[in-house]
Structure 1
Amino acid sequence: MNKYIIAAAVAVAGFNSAAMAEGLTIGVSWSNFQEERWKTDEAAMKAAIEANGDTYISSDAQNSAAKQLTDVEALIAQGADALVILSVDKDAIGPAIDMASNEDIPVVGYDRLIEDERAFYLTFDNKGVGRIIAETVTAAQPDGNFAIIKGDQGDPNALFLLEGMMEVIGDDVEAGNITIVGESFTDGWKPDNAQKNMEQILTANDNNVDAVLAENDGMAGGVIAALQAQGMVIPVGGQDGDLAALNRVARGTQTVSVWKDSRALGSAAGNIAAALANGTAMADVDGAEAWSGGANGVEMTAIFLDPTPVTVDNLDVVIDAGHISKEQACEGAMDSVAACQ
């Protein structure tokens, strides 16, 4: 964990050195603020932008792909020198990239893939996140009936996470050791939709489900609500380091939350956007690599930050990092959780 924090700090320092000119306007188009973590991302991004002497402007698409296109147009009209876009829909965002390109405005595709060579891709290793969720859950439940609660079908991350999960459990599925008894996309990544999906899976299988791989913490919360209604406690994995999820880890109802330190990602986005607006080529951004792992194999420039799995065994990591207070993490915790002693 210390190695990761140091590496992130070095990377961010590198981005800062590239952003020498001040007075830029960085426009940020958010898909929505439904998920707890986007507020953390925004605070870090805004702080980095303002520390560079630049101006932060933003819009909230409210989960509407059509509104996001209008939002991007408005951000450009407000004088954005660079754009950071958390896309609602991977296919519908294309005209926004065209608008930016026509004005020579660089774009950072934030956390969700915009598969276009004109967009810099900044995210965590989402396939790696999927692997971690599956590895941790299968360590607790090596076989049996599994459910997979996937994210929104229009978000490439849902498939990256699934690919990572299947890298871990695929052979056991082929061998018959693990049976996938339910697998559902979840509109908008919404917890209530995830709860409905899980309820349907439980009903279809007479509650004969041994473990759940959920693709984020909000949906894991919906899954756990469905399980608790049936008096069930089984291994459930998620990701994002949501505060409620970390408390569920301490309580023993969620097996793992893969923490992606949004502060590092947000800071990096603000600094990369400034560097690109100042004329730095995408390939020359510190830490950038060539990548073509999207569905269409488009050659892109990307940076992938490393995630951290949080379980009862290392809950102290997020407490010590100041991501969550001990009181928040440990309310109602199991007696065996060392971080809560």
Structure 2
Amino acid sequence: MRRYLRIAATGVTAIALASALAACGEAGGGDDEEEGGGGAQSGTIGILLPDDVTTRYDTFDYPFFEEKVAELCPDCTVEYSNASNDTNQQKQQFDALLAEGADVIVLDPVDASATATWVEDAAAEDVPVVAYDRLAEGPIASYVSYDNERVGELQGETLLDSLGDDADGARVVMINGSPTDPNAALFKSGALSVLEGTTEIVFEQDVEGWEASIANQEMGAAIDSLGADGFDGVYVANDGMAAGVVNALQSAGVTDVPVGGQDAELAALQRIIAGDQTFTIFKGYKPQAEAAAEMAVNLMRGEELGDVAPDTVDSPTDDAIPSAILDPVAVTVDNIAENLIDGGYYTVDEICTEEYAQACQDAGIG
């Protein structure tokens, strides 16, 4: 698979994009038009998210997306489905949106390599597809995600920081994300760019579907293979799997081993406060969802994407896709309040339940 590239958009690209979007607006969806504007002012926007093992999608991504669409297009309808980690189910959901006359589809694929023909079918019906979080293959109209190699770099850097003076020569277990998710390879690449040459990777395994139960099994296998004292830190690609990893460590009586994650899930924040997980990577759900909503509404109306897509990326099937690539943040116990509470994602009461009240007090949260 070709590595995805990020380059600055040029004036020529912007002009070509404007023309393409205008053509899309003339052919596409809704039937209410602003006088002289030439673009649909209302319509149906579908959003398809990949799984329910990662809590962010139903809790944050979809609600923020729906709220922003309602702000930008009060008369628009949003149709939402979650694929529950099933590519065939997501294909059915995609086809259903096309059959029902959706004007734009926002797609976060279970398996990005499976989507090329889906997106081609949508393009044949003049329905633009926005790739969300994961870079779907096929002629997508735009893409929004975080700098996923930078996510991996932050994971590696924060793990090294957590190891402190013991980082040089540290033995690291890597529990990577699903091979069907193109972001997982980027997280891994970014992390290795930091860890290689400083640490020794003593055990590594990809986890199909990002399943916590499989991560738990793989961490158990690592402990069986290496011994309880055969590793110094654990890189975990996301927080859901980190839960399984922490459980395996606790079951084996392994303590004081830094464990990382990603997604800033509520349970992960509580584990960080309790000292069971060391860090997570926060990718602000709201700016990502709002950017996708703005892209979808603009595409539906045949308008330029403008500042909402200042970057471009290449996929394995298409080049120079208009994109918004956002910046992630590493979160430890020291900045949970700043990033997640002050940012309005969680309240103190949600994080500092009775079980975590004393840990929150010790951490200065609450």
CA distance in 2, matches of 1:57, 1:319: 30
Q: How far is 1:286 from its partner?
A: 2.9
Q: Percent identity?
A: 32
Alignment-derived partner of residue 156 in structure 2:
134
CA contact (8 A) 1:247 1:328 kept: no
Aligned partner of 1:163: which letter? S
Alignment-derived partner of residue 24 in structure 1:
43
Indicate how the Cα distance of structure 1 residues 22 and 119 shifts in structure 2: closer, same or farther if over 3 A, else same. Answer: closer
Indicate how the Cα distance of structure 1 residues 297 and 184 shifts in structure 2: closer, same or farther if over 3 A, else same. Answer: farther
Alignment-derived partner of residue 262 in structure 2:
239
CA distance in 2, matches of 1:126, 1:258: 11
Alignment-derived partner of residue 125 in structure 2:
103
CA contact (8 A) 1:81 1:105 kept: yes
Q: Does 1:209 align with 2:235?
A: no
Q: How far is 1:117 from its partner?
A: 4.3
Indicate how the Cα distance of structure 1 residues 72 and 285 shifts in structure 2: closer, same or farther if over 3 A, else same. Answer: farther
Select the residue among 165, 182, 202 that pairs with 1:181: 202
Alignment-derived partner of residue 78 in structure 1:
100
CA distance in 2, matches of 1:78, 1:236: 45
Q: How far is 1:300 from its partner?
A: 2.0
Aligned partner of 1:135: which letter? E
Alignment-derived partner of residue 278 in structure 2:
255
Alignment-derived partner of residue 10 in structure 1:
none
Indicate how the Cα distance of structure 1 residues 186 and 287 shifts in structure 2: closer, same or farther if over 3 A, else same. Answer: same
Higher mean displacement: 97-106 or 60-69: 60-69
CA deviation profile, 1:5-38 (whole Å, cap 9, x unmatched): xxxxxxxxxxxxx9x8532210112222221100
User: Any residues of structure 2 matched to 1:161-310 within 5 Å, and which?
Assistant: 161-172=187-198, 178-207=199-228, 208-233=230-255, 234-281=257-304, 284-292=306-314, 294=315, 298-310=319-331
CA contact (8 A) 2:123 2:139 kept: no
Q: How far is 1:297 from its partner?
A: 7.6
CA distance in 2, matches of 1:273, 1:80: 11
Which segments of 5 or more consecutive residues in structure 1 lack a partner in the other structure?
1-17, 173-177
CA deviation profile, 1:109-144 (whole Å, cap 9, x unmatched): 110111434341111111111111111111111142
Indicate how the Cα distance of structure 1 residues 295 and 251 shifts in structure 2: closer, same or farther if over 3 A, else same. Answer: farther
CA distance in 1, matches of 2:160, 2:332: 13
CA distance in 2, matches of 1:117, 1:166: 31
Q: How far is 1:334 from its partner?
A: 6.5
Q: How far is 1:295 from its partner?
A: 5.5
CA distance in 2, matches of 1:205, 1:87: 35
CA contact (8 A) 2:142 2:309 kept: no
Q: Does 1:154 align with 2:180?
A: yes
CA contact (8 A) 1:29 1:83 kept: yes
User: Equivalent residue of 2:303, what SS?
Assistant: coil
CA distance in 1, matches of 2:345, 2:334: 17
CA contact (8 A) 1:239 1:257 kept: yes
Aligned partner of 2:227: which letter? D
Aligned partner of 2:263: which letter? D
Alignment-derived partner of residue 338 in structure 1:
364
User: Equivalent residue of 2:85, what SS?
Assistant: coil
CA deviation profile, 1:37-73 (whole Å, cap 9, x unmatched): 0011010111112222211012222222122222111
CA distance in 2, matches of 1:48, 1:21: 17
CA contact (8 A) 2:112 2:135 kept: yes
Q: Does 1:47 align with 2:67?
A: yes
CA distance in 2, matches of 1:96, 1:297: 14
User: Equivalent residue of 1:238, what SS?
Assistant: coil
Indicate how the Cα distance of structure 1 residues 162 and 296 shifts in structure 2: closer, same or farther if over 3 A, else same. Answer: farther
Superposition RMSD on alpha carbons, in Å?
2.1
TM-score by length of 2: 0.81
Aligned partner of 2:54: which letter? E
CA distance in 2, matches of 1:290, 1:187: 29
CA contact (8 A) 1:272 1:285 kept: no
Q: Does 1:37 align with 2:63?
A: no
CA distance in 2, matches of 1:219, 1:154: 16
CA contact (8 A) 2:120 2:139 kept: no
Q: Does 1:89 align with 2:149?
A: no
Q: How far is 1:335 from its partner?
A: 6.0
Which segments of 5 or more consecutive residues in structure 2 lack a partner in the other structure?
1-36
CA contact (8 A) 2:153 2:191 kept: yes
CA distance in 1, matches of 2:308, 2:49: 25
User: Equivalent residue of 2:120, what SS?
Assistant: helix
CA distance in 2, matches of 1:297, 1:55: 29
